[in-house]
Amino acid sequence: MKFLTILISFLLIYCAKGELPTYFKDVEQVLLHRMNFSVDPCDDFYDYACGNSDSIIKPMQNENKRILENGLNKLLYSDDYETLKSSTAIIKALKYYGACITENVTEADMVANTKKEVELFMKKFNFPEDFFFDADANVKWDPKKLTQVLKYVHDAFFVEPFFSTFPVLHELLGLENINLTSHAFLGIKKVNATFEKTSYFCGPSNLLQNFTDGVYTVMRTMGLKAEPSQVTETAKELMELEFRLIGVSCSNKTVVEDKPSEVDLDSIGSNFTFLMKDLVVDLIKTGVGNNTFDYNNMSVVLFINSLPEVLTSVSQAELLRYMYFRIIMANAVPVNCVDILSSMPLAKSRIYTEFKYATLSEREELHSSITEIIKTVKQVFKTMVLTMPWIKKDRHAYDTLVKKFNKIRSDVAIEHDFLNNTWIDKYYKQINFDGSDSFLSMHSKARKFAMYGKVRTMLYNTTVNIETDMTEINAIYHKTNNKFVIYDGILIAPFYNKYYPLSFKLGNLAFIIGHEIGHSIDATGIMFNDKGLLKPFLSETAAKELKKMESCVVDQFNKIEVLPSNYTPHHVNGAKTLTENMADISGLAAAYRTFKIFEKKYGPEEPLSHPKLRELTRDQLFFLGFSELFCGKRSNDYIQWMVLNDEHTPDEARIQGLLPNVPEFGKAFDCPVGSKYRPAEHCKVWTH
């Protein structure tokens, strides 16, 4: 009993370390901490609003982890929380976490276990043990053997070395009422990169060093020896192969974009060096378990047109070397007892939410207040869109958009199904932890279960966001089920604090809601009808008007320089970032209108008291609140990666490109007409 008391005391002290900075509790302190008062907001609003700020994301992530860890420890060491503990899914999560704490598995334990499992793998498939640094290694496989290898690596090491599989909802292909037992097809896309994705760009970077360090990790794990020159040569080979697998071409500094194509499994043919149909069927059979599934009407959606050429252009020894490398990099790593629950994201989300709020009424109050904002933003958007003259003239489009806006649903903080013991227990039924299971055994079972989330998405109704970790700092609009979800993980200070002034709070929260709902009518979202089907419904005339709107945004953002001229490219890619930029512009316009509705409804608020802040108007506070999520310093290398790969405009340029298209900003800060943020002409995105 004494040991338990000491342990609990230690855990409570440890958990307290992740608490948010104290200045997050007060909006005046937040603003004083981040603003640069020496800058004129009409010259550079980003520097004015964010000039002294670091990113808020890391402190928010730390706080979310603290909340989860605190909840886990209370569940483990308390006899309370009977309802939560009556869930078999929650008990499984607790057993998993508790075994990690109790057994105290070290990095050395993970390395030893990985070595043992890799040796079994090599022996099972008769691969030479000393091939890793042997350029002439005799590695041979036929399509059948490679198919078996890929399935084994997927299930035993939780790695897909050459491509990634994921669910593609039928609605994304415009399919309705198809007589199948699944809700999705299996999609196959480019491989997930080994290291942080922002490292993958052409030019000087630390990526080769990362691969070199990775090769040394392989050597330490498997007890291999090599000359430094061999290590460097192998690291370069692995890096160059991965560049090709993820579609980055450094010869012309482009990212290969593969267009999706639905393919009947029987017609894939011999393009691939493995048996695609056999692998897909085997994956689905494992994930489906005892559930009914129609294997006779199966298709895959390919996003990897370039993969066959990559796989046939290098030796089998090189492919095995890369596979071997990926296996060890994914498994010979230390474990964090809180982070492991990412393999059970729904149970993780449930525990987090149950312990984040002091009472049920507190959670319901937050849900009610944010739902009110969502409803208002949705109604504002509906009015903005339906009053566009060219939409009013297109009766079919008008009627479809009325239905689409009326059907938009939302979930705040957590999916309701996750709070249902019966539902969540059924979902995790396939995980079986035996009484004799060690932590490593549980870890393997949980990770394998997580690998099959794509198959469970095919089986479950698409109104549920399968495999969603609601502790993440995120919000999302799902085109295929016309649904907006704001994650619980984002609803903490400084992004959300119920005690912040309404103007500031709506600046960030209503904007994020507006941005996500704006995706329902961006350049892609407008192609999905009220049923979530990819069925374009605009008339030819309306489509031309939409194209004019899009072209204005593309042209404007193409002109924004984000990097010094020695970088190529050094401007925003307006076409690549179009949907996000449209959602930004329309979302902020809708958020501002929502703010004015709430201002009228709830009346005036007290001005801020600090001398540097007391002159700020409510409109100015709204725009300062909007900028909160974009504050943070980015390196030029990170920005270059974003320009090449990301559909989002880099943060500073995002504000620079967005604000001139929202006239209310220039008026709020009394910027001169014709100036940077108050131009005579601007892009009108669903406004007129």
The pLDDT of residue 629: 84
Superfamily per CATH, domain 108-331: Neutral endopeptidase , domain2 (1.10.1380.10)
Which residues of the chain are modeled with pLDDT < 50?
1-17, 179, 462-464
* Bridge partners of residue 248, in order along the sequence: 255
Class (C level, CATH) for 22-66+343-668: alpha beta
Which residue in 376, 374, 572 sits closest to 477, CA to CA? 374
Delimiting residues of CATH 3.40.390.10 domain(s) in the chain: 22-66+343-668
| End-to-end alpha carbon distance in the chain | 70
**Residue owning tokens 């042209």:** 555
Q: Output the CA–CA distances (angstroms, integers) from residue 471 to 108, 355, 499, 506, in the order listed.
A: 30, 12, 22, 21
The answer to whether the beta carbons of residues 258 and 296 sit under 8 Å apart is no
pLDDT of residue 10: 34
Query: What is the pLDDT, as a whole number, of residue 262?
Result: 72
Closest CA to 454 of 187, 191, 150: 187
Instruction: Give the three-state DSSP class for 37.
Output: coil
Cβ 626 vs Cβ 45: under 8 Å: no
Q: What angle do CA 592, 597, 600 make, to 5 degrees?
A: 125
pLDDT of residue 460: 67
Phi, psi of 315, deg, nearest 5: -75, 160
Nearest to 584 by CA among 630, 542, 621: 630
Rounded to an integer, what distance in angstroms lies between the CA atom of residue 544 and that of residue 548?
6
Are 562 and 572 in contact, with CB atoms under 8 Å apart?
yes
Residues 610-646: b if buried by 16+ CB within 10 A, e if exposed: eeebeebebbbbbbbbbbbbbbeeeeebbbbbbbbbb
Residues 65, 358: Cα–Cα separation, whole Å: 17
Residue 229: how many CB atoms within 10 A of its CB? 8
CA distances from 102 to 5, 283, 438, 669 (A): 15, 33, 10, 58
Query: What is the C-alpha separation between 221 and 223, in angstroms, rounded?
Result: 6
Burial of 420-457, coded b for 16+ CB within 10 Å and e otherwise, reads eeebbbebbebbebeeebebbebbbbbbbbebbbbbbb
Residue type, 373: I
**3-class DSSP state for residue 359?**
coil
Please state the separation of Cα 441 from the chain's center in Å. Answer: 28
Question: What does 543-603 look like in DSSP terms, one character per residue?
Answer: HHHHHHHHHHHHHHHHT-B-S-TTSSS-B--TTTTHHHHHHHHHHHHHHHHHHHHHHHHH-
According to the model, what pLDDT value does residue 256 have?
57
pLDDT at 327: 98
Contact 203, 570 (CB under 8 A): no
- Taken as a whole, the chain contains a residue count of 688
Cβ atoms 528, 383 nearer than 8 A: no
Domain with CATH 1.10.1380.10 in the chain: 108-331
Contacts of residue 103, defined as CB under 8 A and 6 or more positions apart, other chains included, come to 438, 439
Q: What gap in Å lies between CA 647 and CA 41, rounded to an integer? A: 27
Torsion angle of the four alpha carbons 81, 83, 84, 88, in this order, in degrees rounded to the nearest 10: 130
Which pLDDT belongs to residue 172? 59
